[in-house]
Amino acid sequence: MKELSNGNKKNELVDMLTRFYVHIIRSDAEIKKNEIDILYPLLLNLFKDLPISWEVYIKEIMNEEYDLVKVINFLNHNLNQLDKIRVIFTLIIMAFSDSDFEMYEISSIQSMMKYFKIEGSGYMDLMRNLELKTTAPLRITDISSIFQFENSLFTDYLVIGRSERCNMRFKDPLVANIEFVIFGIDNNYFMIAGQKPGVKLSGNELRANHIYYLPAESKIEIQKLKFNTLFVRKLMHNINNSDVINFTKSDYDFKITCEGNKFYLNVRRGYVYRNGKSVSYNRDIPIFWDDKLRIKGYAAFSLIDVLDEKERIGIDDIAPDVIFLNLDNGFYSLVKHPSEKAIAQIENRNNNYHFIPLKKSVNFLINGEEFATDKIIHLNEDIITIEDLKGSHLSLDKLSRKEDVRLGKHIKNRVKQQLRNNKNFNFRINNFFDLVEVPFEINNLEVTAVKHYHNDKSVGLDNISFNAKRGELIGILGPSGCGKSTLLKAIVAEFQPTHGKIEVDGKLLYKNRSEFMQYFGYVPQEDMIFANLTVFENMYFYGRLRMPNVPQNQLILKIDNILNQVTLAHKRNTLVGDDRNKILSGGQRKRLNIALELLFEPIVLVCDEPTSGLSSFDAEQIIELLHEQRRQNRIVIITVHQPNAYIFKKFSKVLLMDNGGKEVFFGSPSQAFAYFEEELEVIKFRKNLLEQKVKDTNPDFFYDIILFPEYDIRGNIKFEQINQQVVTKRKFSSEYWRDKYKRKILFQLITKEDTTEELKVEKKKIKYRKKLSYYARLVQFSTYLHRNLVNKLRNKTNLLITFIEAPLLALMVAYILRLAPTSDKYSFYENSNITLFLFVSIIIFVFFGMTNSIHEVLEERKFILREKVRNLKISHYHISKFMVMSIFTVVQALLYHLISSTILEIKGFFFLNVLYFSLSGLIGLSIGLLFSSFINDTKGIINILPLILIPQIIFGGAVIQFDKMNRNLTIIKQNPIPEVVQTIPSRWLFEGLVTGYSTESVNNKELLKIDKKVLTLEKSSDFSKIELMDEKYELREEVNIRYPKNKFTNKDINLIVDMMYGRFLNQKKNIFISPQKSFGGIEVKTVSVNIVIILIYIMIINLMIGIRLKYYYNE
- Give the footprint of other proteins on this chain (CB under 8 A): 1007, 1011, 1024-1026, 1029-1030, 1033-1034, 1036-1037, 1040-1041, 1044-1045, 1051, 1054-1055, 1058-1063, 1065-1066
Which residues have CB under 8 Å from 261's CB, separation 6+?
A: 158, 167, 168, 235, 238, 239
Ramachandran angles phi, psi of 952, nearest 5°: -65, -35
d(CA 309, CA 302): 11
Dihedral of CA atoms 742, 743, 744, 746 in degrees, nearest 10, equals 90
| Smallest gap from residue 1052 Cβ to other proteins (A) | 10
937/1030 with CB nearer other proteins: 1030
Residue 340: count other Cβ atoms within 10 Å of its Cβ. 6
Minimum CB distance to other proteins smaller for 723 or for 1066: 1066
Report how far residue 1106's alpha carbon sits from residue 1115's, in angstroms, rounded to the nearest whole number.
Answer: 17
How buried is 312 (Cβ within 10 angstroms: 0-12 exposed, 13-18 middle, 19+ buried)? exposed
Our CB check for other proteins shows the closer of 1007 and 1105 to be 1007
Q: How far apart are the first and last CA of the chain?
A: 70
What value, to the nearest 5°, has the Cα angle with vertex 861 and ends 860 and 863? 65
Encoded amino acid at 44, one letter: L
d(CA 888, CA 149): 57
| Burial (0-12, 13-18, 19+ Cβ within 10 Å), 205 | exposed
CA 732/CA 704 separation, integer angstroms: 11
Name which of 148 and 1040 has its Cβ closer to other proteins.
1040
Task: State in angstroms the smallest separation of the CB of 990 from other proteins.
Answer: 20
CB atoms within 10 A of CB 520: 25
Contact 582, 589 (CB under 8 A): yes
Min dist. Cβ of residue 580 to other proteins (A): 59
Report the C-alpha gap between 597 and 520 in whole angstroms: 9
Tell me how far, at minimum, the Cβ of 1074 lies from other proteins, in Å.
10
Distance separating alpha carbons of residues 396 and 402, to the nearest angstrom: 10
Helix (H) or strand (E) holding 692: helix 687-695
For other proteins, give the closer residue by CB, 68 or 1029. Answer: 1029
Report d(CA 439, CA 897) in Å as an integer. 57
Q: How far is the CB of 1018 from other proteins (least distance, A)?
A: 11
Closest distance between other proteins and the C-beta of residue 1064, in Å? 8
Nearer to other proteins, 495 or 962 (CB): 962
457: three-class secondary structure by DSSP: coil
Query: Rounded to the nearest whole angstrom, what is the least distance from the CB of residue 1063 to other proteins in the complex?
Result: 4
Closest CB 1053 distance from other proteins, rounded Å? 12
CB 996, min distance to other proteins, A = 17
Q: Which residues pair with 204 in a beta bridge?
A: 201
CB of 949 to other proteins, least distance (A): 31
Tell me how far, at minimum, the Cβ of 1033 lies from other proteins, in Å: 4
Nearer CB in complex with other proteins: 388/1011:
1011
Q: Which CB, 580 or 964, lies closer to other proteins?
A: 964
Nearer to other proteins, 43 or 1073 (CB): 1073
* Backbone dihedral angles phi then psi of residue 568, each to the nearest 5 degrees: -125, 10
Return the SS3 of 214.
strand
Residue placing its CB nearer to other proteins in the complex, 134 or 827: 827
Minimum CB–partner distance for residue 1026 and other proteins (Å): 4
Q: Which CB atom, from 526 or from 963, has the smaller least distance to other proteins?
A: 963
- Nearer to other proteins (CB atom), residue 8 or residue 1046: 1046
Residues 908, 1048: contact at Cβ < 8 Å?
Answer: yes
**Nearest residue (CB) to other proteins, 717 versus 820:** 820
- State in angstroms the smallest separation of the CB of 974 from other proteins: 16
Q: Which of 665, 629, 632, 673 is nearest to 649 (CA)?
A: 673
**C-alpha distances in angstroms, 439 versus 11, 30, 136, 421?**
73, 73, 65, 12
Asked if 931 and 809 count as a contact pair (C-beta separation under 8 A), the reply is no
> Which DSSP helix (H) or strand (E) runs through 257?
strand 252-259
- What is the C-alpha separation between 186 and 188, in angstroms, rounded? 6
State the minimum distance, in angstroms, from the CB of residue 999 to other proteins: 12
Closest to other proteins by CB, 286 vs 1062, is 1062
Going by the DSSP 8-state scheme, the letter that residue 147 receives in this structure is: G
Contact 462, 661 (CB under 8 A): yes
Radius of gyration (C-alpha) of the chain in whole angstroms? 41
Give me the least distance between CB of 960 and other proteins, in Å please. Answer: 17
Residue 947 or residue 1041: which is nearer to other proteins going by CB? 1041
How far apart (Å, rounded) are the C-alpha atoms in residues 96 and 130? 7
Instruction: Look up residue 854 and give its DSSP letter.
Output: T
